[in-house]
Structure formats: structure tokens, C-alpha cells
Amino acid sequence: MQVIIDKGIPFLDGVFGSDIEVRHLPPEEITNKAVRNADALVVRTRTRIDKNLLAGSKVRFVATATIGFDHIDQAYCREAGVEWMSCPGCNAKAVCDYVEEVLNTLKSGESGKTLGVIGYGHVGKLVAEMAKRKGYEVLVSDPPLGIGQSLAEIAPLCDVLTFHTPLTHEGEHATYHMCNADILRRCKPNALLINAARGGVIDEKALLEHMKQMPEMQVVLDCWEGEPMLNRELLEKVNLASFHIAGYSIQGKMRASEMCLEGFCAFFSLPILSINKKAVPLQGDSESGWLQRISDQLKKAPADFEQLRKQYKLR
């Protein structure tokens, strides 16, 4: 049996037995040719799981060490008989910590303000609890779950809007460009907008035009349309920017690797394997001001988005 693992996924070195051939590859080398003889893949969002990658291969199981799964062509996997899994909730605490750091950095934690949570899954619930502890009134919008009001209804009421939805393109509640020109016009002039979900959730062209007209709006983006190619003009205007690392924490990475390993063992009916906790240092970046620091890094060198992401010291 052969398993190909994105080399950016930690804690999986040396955990498979001698009967399993393991190849650790950078995402750009996980190609159709490379996976031809693989039985399983463990990837991240940088690897698109579709016909172009899997056609003619032996792959039967794919695990993505991420909450999101918009990089997986689910229809193709069903047709091809490929089972896949994601890791819901694995990095929820890290994303919540990111949002709290935004509030602390931009001094937006005063009692009496209203914070809107868009998407009430694993992350959204933690963010709502954190915001309440900080004295916010919290409004929630999650139409697919039948929770709260619509985004259009709560946008005018919120001092902060923070997005925690998957990226979907079809259906009644598609999230692609859910934050568009109409929603932005409804927002308070000095609202704080946070996207730690997926880049396509916000229409960046509309956002840039709105910020030109409403410069008092505060914006923090961790996720971008067209990553790793960024809209440089938008990058310059946002208050804080990061390179899609809101969910990057040691604990989150550890749990994602555990979940992928559990799924792999269950699918192939193998004895339970344990992650290698010694594979990476268990001390990350927790120094004060970490978000402002990485924002300065990205604004100084936007072309290095992918490299900064790869070298990021886990929180």
C-alpha cells in the first residue's frame, strides 16, 4: 500500500508500519503522475481533488487535514468510488483565538457593542462564546441551520461582522460572494469586517470600492480570492492582513493529523495508529502582537504569501 502525504502536514512522520510506503511531497508535486500508484492521499487545501488529479490512479481514500473541503470535487469522488473526509472542528479554537486577537489589536472589545457571527458551526459557536465574555451582544446568522436572521438583516445592527462559513457555489444558501456590494452598503460606516473563512465569501472588488467610499470601515482578511495572488490595492487598505493562517495552531494541526490517521485506519481496517508528537516542536508563536507582526510581513512582501504561509511558526 502507498500513501502520499502533503509534507506540510505535521505529526505523521514514522507512524506507518513497514508494510505501507509513505511519500511526503510538497503540494505542487502531488500530481496525476505522482498519485498513479497511491492508495490514499492526505492533503491540504492547496491540492485540488478532482478528475485531473485522480483519473487512472488507484486512490480509494482521501483525507484533507482541514475544516474546509471546497477543494474536493465531491461529485467526481462519488462517481469514482473515492471516499473522502475532512476534519471539522480541528482548528476551531485557533480561529477563535485569531478573531479575539483582532478585537484586542484594533481595540474593538468594548462592552455594549454588537458582534455578528456569520456561520454557527464549530468555529462560530466558540467565537460567539468568546465575544459574550468580552461584553458583546452577539447576533448569529446561519440560514442553512435555521439559526438567527439573514446576513442582510443583521449587517446594519453590527459593529463587528465575522465570517465562519464554508465556501459553496450552489443552492439556496450559497456562500460565494455572500458579502457583496449590497451587504456592504447595509453595514455601519465604521463597522469591523473579519474574514477567517474562505476568500470567496467576500466580493473583494466590491469591498475595495466600498472602502474607498467608506475609509472608516475596518477590515481584517486572513483569506483571499485567488490565493496566493493577492489584490495589492486591497492589501494596502485593510487594517490587518494574514496569509490564511487563522486556523494554524499546534493543537489544531495535531488534532487534524489525528483525525486523518483515524479515518485512514478505519477505511483500510487497520489497527489504530498514533501520531508522532515529537515530529515538530510543541512550542509556537505566542508573543504579544503576533497578528500585527505577520500583517506587517505580508504587506511588505505580498509576493511571498505562499512562502510566509509555509514558514509560519504555529501558535
Read off φ and ψ for residue 51, nearest 5 degrees.
Answer: -60, -40
For residues 117 and 162, is the Cβ–Cβ distance under 8 A? Answer: yes
Give Cα separations from 250 to 3, 41, 234, 254, 314 (angstroms): 23, 22, 30, 6, 6
Non-local CB neighbours of 120 within 8 Å, separated by 6+ positions: 128, 140, 141, 142, 145, 147, 148, 164
First-last CA distance in the chain:
34
Q: Provide, for the chain, the percentages of residues in helix, strand and coil under a 3-state DSSP scheme, each rounded to the nearest 5.
A: 35, 15, 45
CA distance 314 to 252: 9
Q: Just list the catalytic residues.
A: 198, 227, 244
Specify the 3-state DSSP secondary structure of 223. Answer: coil
**Beta-sheet strands, E only, within 196-297:** 218-221, 240-241
